[in-house]
Amino acid sequence: MILKHPEETHRTNKLFLRERANWVQLKEFARKNAANALSVANMVMGMASILSSLNGHHYAACWLVLIGYLLDLADGAVARRLNACSVLGAKLDDFADFTTFGIATSLLLRTPSFLDNLLCICYVLSVLVRLVFFSTGIPFMYRGLPCIYSSAILSCTSLLTGGNMAVLRVTAVAMILFMVSQSFYPHDRVLESQAWKKVVYVGGVVMVFCSSFPPACVYYLLWSVSYILFPTALWSCKV
């Protein structure tokens, strides 16, 4: 049997402890930033949607907004699940929401018309107002329609109608009024509530990646409209 020198054994133990400490730090970093990564991914979807709209890729722009919709519903749930809520995370979430559900969605309304461009500006401002007046002081409640639902409705309407501007203008005006209203909406917490809501979310993921175009749009449209029509009856955060 070959015995190791005490110094060699000490160096081996020290190296093992250092590697273990690095692994613990890496896991802690991943835990703290998992939700932030989802917010950044949401923001990337928004920026990609903006570029798609500017390059005339209308369908891609709409689908990227819908993927951002799923990411936004997940990031808060992940942050609370991992006990990783932070000021940075809240700021990232707001920036991502403004990018994807404000700027990117507004560009779905963009045409050479001055009035349509004015509508785009009004839509962006209404999302900004919605984010500013997010807090109500009432637990689990929003003031004004959450902008992810108005974006999903506009995206699905645009896809289903082939970008019919007359329908989109009417829909956008209605969404603006819902967002700037003082009505209360429940915090849905889809991934932290009843099992059927989680099934709805999983269905949304499946629809994006596995389903044909019309059924997926109808699915998201019904999901978002149901939140407007039956906010408390269906989407309150009762666990």
Which residues constitute the domain of residue 66? 34-235
d(CA 236, CA 49): 30
d(CA 239, CA 237): 6
Does 20 map to a domain? Answer: no
Please enumerate in sequence order all residues whose Cβ is within 8 A of that of 178, keeping only pairs 6 or more positions apart, or say none.
144, 145, 150, 228
d(CA 142, CA 182): 9
d(CA 150, CA 127): 9
pLDDT in tens, 127-164: 999 888 776 566 678 888 999 999 999 999 999 999 99
The number of distinct structural domains making up the chain is 1
Look at residue 134 in the predicted model and tell me its pLDDT: 72
Does 7 map to a domain? Answer: no
Does 6 map to a domain? Answer: no
In the structure encoding, which two tokens stand for residue 44, read together? 């990337």
Average pLDDT over residues 15-41: 70
Look at residue 233 in the predicted model and tell me its pLDDT: 86
pLDDT in tens, 42-99: 999 999 999 999 999 999 999 999 999 999 999 888 888 877 677 777 888 889 999 9
Does 15 map to a domain? Answer: no
Does 2 map to a domain? Answer: no
Question: If pLDDT is split at 50, 70 and 90, which confidence band does 239 have?
Answer: very low
* Least-confidence region, from 2-6, 54-58, 114-118, 195-199: 2-6
Give the percent of the chain with pLDDT over 70: 83
Does 83 map to a domain? Answer: yes
| CATH (domain of 215) | 1.20.120
- Which neighbouring-strand residues pair with 142? 185
Does 12 map to a domain? Answer: no
State the residue for tokens 């942050």.
79
Q: Which of 138, 141, 173, 135 is nearest to 154 (CA)?
A: 173
Give the percent of the chain with pLDDT over 90: 54
Look at residue 89 in the predicted model and tell me its pLDDT: 76
Does 29 map to a domain? Answer: no
